[in-house]
Structure 1
Amino acid sequence: MKFDDLAIPIEGMRLAFAGPLVRPHSCSRPPPRDSDRPRACAPGPRAPRRRRGDARGFTLLELLAVVILIGILAAAASPSFVSGMRDRRVNRTAMEISGIYRLARYQAIGRGTAVLVRWTASTGELQVRQALVQDAAGSLISRSCLSVADWMDPAETEPVTMLRTAGIELAAVELRDPTAPDGVVRDNADVCFTPRGRTFVRYDPGAGLAPLLGALRVNVTNTRTGLLRSVFVPPNGVARLGL
């Protein structure tokens, strides 16, 4: 048999065994052996990106609405904020007054000489002065509240510090004595602390000092909101701020 005679049967067998055209798999990896496992396929086509001209921004009406809303909220909150600021000024003033009386007492005990706090309602001042220590025959003699004739005399006393309450906005300060039921408002008051921790008081600068009986009170009131803070000075001289 010649080779040319076999060409036709071989060509027929090749066409018989040829199957349909197989398309390549869309996955980048060959399919796994286990048919139940998912195949890692290549990601699908991405969505087209928006052009810069298609991006939507805020309109002028939307911006105006936001600005108006912020303005309304600020206007509603401003009265509360202002009232809170004024109340804080009153609280700070009451704390400073309490600190003045505490400082005078500690100064008297620590230095060993009498210290006086003078309240003058007409000027709104709390002035602290301490008695000078006497040097008699080479020995230092401490002064008591009753041994000082004139507390404004530089030869007998010297200034320590001063607190002015007249310039504080919306803060009304008044001093009341311990008389029942609510005390009498005093225009002048001298509170003197001795080195031994005793407390004396007088409401007339020309009168004599007497032991403090009961708690002297200094009221600080917010004239706009009515907030009241009180400073109490008891007979032991340890001033405290009322709650």
Structure 2
Amino acid sequence: MRFRPQHRSRRRARPRPAVPREAGVTLLELMTVVTLIAVVAAAAAPSIGDALAERKMTQTSLDVVRIARRGRSEAAGYGRAHMLRYLSGDTGTGVFELYRGINNHCNTNDWNAVTGGGVCNREGGFCRDFIVVSQETDTDTIAVVPDNIVGEPLDICFEPSGRVLWRTGTNRFSDRNQGGAANPLGGFVFRVERDGGATGVIRRVVIPLGGDARVLQ
């Protein structure tokens, strides 16, 4: 008889599942990304600053339009004269104050009593609205200055009838509309500018002697 050698059956080992490696970056890759971000940010910083300043100029222009339109519309709505006062302010960047009179005529209101000789720094009482133009960025100063009238305070008065009068200082209100350095020639123009007009596009807001305020450019 022949005896065949018996071999033990070997079980095949099951393959172990591959352990996924955790994603990561090397220190060199991380430093490269940080450097690229810094370079891009430095290159974009001037453009971002200009865009923010232009946005603030646009918003300031719209604020001046809004307060002038409010004075004109509330004069008709409440039946009282409303006075919009412009001052250069402590910083020279411009202040607008809107007051409501006690009757319907500009020259029969005691505006000294209405304004109280103070500052219209919050809405209430005869002070209806105000704007303090003090928009500053790291490198730019935004200001609103009159373009065609010299002297302050510059007061623009809206009567319920739609008539618009004006004055500088403590003079009587008038609808004088001639040309020249001390006359509106149809309306009042205010420049909205950056750094005295040396930077960016100058915007102009006009308040006509018989129409709604608007942005010219």
TM over 0.5: yes
1:209 partnered with 2:173: yes
Contact between 2:61 and 2:205, CA under 8 Å: does it hold in 1? yes
d(CA) in 1 for partners of 2:23, 2:200? 53
d(CA) in 1 for partners of 2:199, 2:171? 38
Q: 1:61 to 1:184 in 2, by over 3 A?
A: same
Q: How does 1:90-129 map to 2 (within 5 A)?
A: 90-123=57-90, 124-129=94-99
Q: CA deviation at 1:187?
A: 3.4
Secondary structure, counterpart of 1:200 in structure 2: strand
* AA partner of residue 142 (structure 2): A
Q: CA deviation at 1:57?
A: 5.6
d(CA) in 1 for partners of 2:67, 2:175? 20
Segments of structure 1 that go 5 or more residues without pairing to the other structure are 1-47, 134-142, 177-182
1:219 partnered with 2:191: yes
Q: How does 1:150-229 map to 2 (within 5 A)?
A: 150-154=110-114, 158-165=126-133, 167-169=134-136, 170-176=141-147, 183-204=148-169, 206-211=170-175, 213=177, 214-223=186-195, 225-229=199-203
Contact between 2:99 and 2:114, CA under 8 Å: does it hold in 1? no
2:209 counterpart residue number: 235
Number of residue-to-residue matches in the alignment: 178
Contact between 2:82 and 2:99, CA under 8 Å: does it hold in 1? yes
Segments of structure 2 that go 5 or more residues without pairing to the other structure are 1-14, 117-124, 178-185
Contact between 2:115 and 2:127, CA under 8 Å: does it hold in 1? no
RMSD after superposition: 2.7
Q: Which moved more, 1:221-230 or 1:86-95?
A: 221-230
1:85 partnered with 2:64: no
Q: CA deviation at 1:89?
A: 1.3
Q: For 1:168-211, what per-residue CA distance to the aligned partner results, in whole angstroms no more than 9, with x for missing partners?
A: 211122113xxxxxx3444321100110111111122x211111
Secondary structure, counterpart of 2:100 in structure 1: strand
1:144 counterpart residue number: 105
Secondary structure, counterpart of 2:200 in structure 1: coil
d(CA) in 1 for partners of 2:113, 2:213? 27
**Identity across aligned pairs (percent)?**
30
Larger Rg: 1
d(CA) in 2 for partners of 1:147, 1:196? 15
d(CA) in 2 for partners of 1:159, 1:102? 15
- Provide TM-score, normalisation by structure 2: 0.72
